[in-house]
Chains A and B, each alone.
Chain A
Amino acid sequence: MANEFTALYVAYTIVWAGVFVYLLYLFMRQRSITKNIELLKQELSKHGK
């Protein structure tokens, strides 16, 4: 029975870890892109574009 609960915990951890790691990856990626967009917009505004 103890092993069965271990399997349950392992599986549930995999599900939630997978979801949270992916969401974290999405937010970090979005933050990085937004930052780069702002930098490039500043660069363009400096040159009057």
Chain B
Amino acid sequence: MNLKLGKYWVWFAGISAALMLITVLLAVYYAPVAASSVKTANELFPSIEGSTITVAGFVADREIMNPIRYPEDPPVTAIILADFSDYRRYLDAVVAGDLEGEWWTVEPITVRGPYLPLGTNVSATGEVVATLDSSSFMLSCDSSDDVVELSSPGEAGIMTSPISQKIFYFHMPSAWVSYVGFFLTLVFGVMYLRTRNRTYDRVAASSAELGVLFATIAIVTGPVWAKEEWGVYWRWDDTKLVTTFVMWLVYIGYLMLRAAVVDHSVRARISAVYGILGFVTMPMSLLSSRIAPLIRSSHPQVIASSSGGLSMEAGITIGIAVVAFTFLFITMLIKRVEIEESEDELEELKRRVGGEE
């Protein structure tokens, strides 16, 4: 069986190129610098005075790298991730207190002195003693008399690095088509096991290879953004990052397995089973940032629920980017399957020539 899509390849390639060009133009000139609208502190915390909350996250501001600070220095600004029971939100935290003594207690380590190293995991539990204005409040920590002032960065300021946030318009669609690729590997693997039709194995293998390509792009571009936004390239305690990395490794293993087995039917059968079992990593990666706060992840959610969502301009841009990457994926898949067919033809010819000699 042949998919007979090869004759449409030029059309798919042309549409992909046009959509990609439109995506670049939209991402650079049309899309807003911040992907999400941000609610003010009062909207997020309607009546929090007197309540005890825990703020947790990690230090991601380069300025905190300065190891020596003096009492006359201005308060240190930390970007931390507020972690409450039902939503997560980046907040600017201006840490005030006795600069000469011990600051607020952070977990899992206690910072001694006015110095929070980059990447430090921090949390502070305390009572909200006052709501300062529409976007900030004061938190009195249990551990000391120090006070932590938190403020929402405002409507356009959720991202500390707004320009690099435009990476999102290519990072997220890359991740999306990698998920599509791994899903197709599952579907066509099942179809191969049911029918033993060689075409299904070709599509499964091609989908996995493309999935790995786009997952690699997503995994590499993500840290470029993270370095600007979080101050670190990678966080091993972030479930989204780790599960995506595991998924990537699993499908690298799929490709290595196919390369290692010579016999066609054995390779197709084993890799179909591997592709089905390996697919369990895909929903783990896809859903890992959505099932917080059960599992910790500071990875942004594209389609937020209670905590906001995409603006119209960002939604249009990301929508077109997803369509563009999907067309690009189909274009590459058609070509890749053609190559698999050609390789089979080559093997058959080699067998005939070898048999003749």
Contact = CB atoms under 8 A, between A and B. Distances in A.
B349 interface: yes
Contact of A5 (B163, B338, B339): B163
A7 B228 contact: yes
Contact of A4 (B163, B174, B335, B336): B163
Contacts of B125: none
A7 B349 contact: no
B335 A26 contact: yes
B145 interface: no
Interface residue SS majority, chain B:
helix
A24 B213 CA distance: 13
Interface residues of B, number: 34
Contact of B167 (A8, A29, A33, A41): A8
A11 B171 contact: yes
B1 interface: no
Contact of A10 (B213, B224, B338): B224
Given A18-B213, A30-B339, A30-B342, A8 B164 contact: yes
Nearest to B338: A30
B48 interface: no
Nearest to A29: B339
Contacts of A22: 213, 332
Contacts of A29: 339
Given A18-B217, A23-B332, A36-B346, A43 B353 contact: yes
Interface string A13-38: 01100110011001001100110110
B225 A11 contact: yes
B164 A11 contact: yes
B332 to A, nearest CB: 7
Nearest to B163: A4
Contacts of B336: 26
A4 B24 CA distance: 17
Contacts of A11: 164, 167, 170-171, 221, 224-225
13 contacts: A1-B163, A4-B164, A4-B228, A7-B161, A8-B163, A8-B166, A11-B167, A15-B217, A18-B213, A18-B217, A37-B346, A41-B349, A49-B352
Interface of B: 24, 161-164, 166-167, 170-171, 174, 213, 216-217, 220-221, 224-225, 227-228, 328, 332, 335-336, 338-339, 342-343, 345-346, 349-350, 352-353, 356
What 8 A-B pairs come out closest when comparing CB atoms? A4-B163, A40-B349, A7-B164, A11-B167, A11-B221, A11-B224, A33-B342, A4-B164
Interface of A: 1, 3-5, 7-8, 10-12, 14-15, 18-19, 22-23, 26, 29-30, 33-34, 36-37, 40-41, 43-44, 47, 49
